[in-house]
Amino acid sequence: MKKVRGQSLKELVRDTLRTEEHRLLFAERRFYLQVAHMVLDLRRKLGISQAELARRARVSQPLIARLEKGDQRRTPTFDTLYKILKALGYTLEITVKPDQRKAA
């Protein structure tokens, strides 16, 4: 029986991100997941439920759940993110900086 060699995660990512389109999709997904983890972590630090956060931010609980999952199908607006972060005791600040990979 012939042995099949698997691919390491590093090799799989390298092969998947060969095209600019795939790199852009990967970066976009990473952004949504960063926002998701940030909101989830802040909510947990405050010790409140999704329902309580939704009530404080005046949004629906399913919206909070989708946001915390990083669901890209229905992305929140800046206004919604602002309300959620304000309800968590934070403000939204946007910083723009050059992409170091593009500058090289």
Residue ranges per structural domain of the chain: 9-98
The span from the CA of 17 to the CA of 26, in Å, is 8
Token representation of residue 102? 């593009």
- pLDDT score for 24: 83
Average pLDDT across each block of 10 residues of the chain; the chain has 104 residues. List them in order: 69 76 84 92 97 98 94 85 96 87 59
- pLDDT score for 60: 96
Contact 88, 68 (CB under 8 A): no
- pLDDT score for 2: 63
- pLDDT score for 99: 80
- pLDDT score for 61: 97
Answer yes or no: CATH 3.30.465.10 is held by domain 9-98: no
- pLDDT score for 4: 58
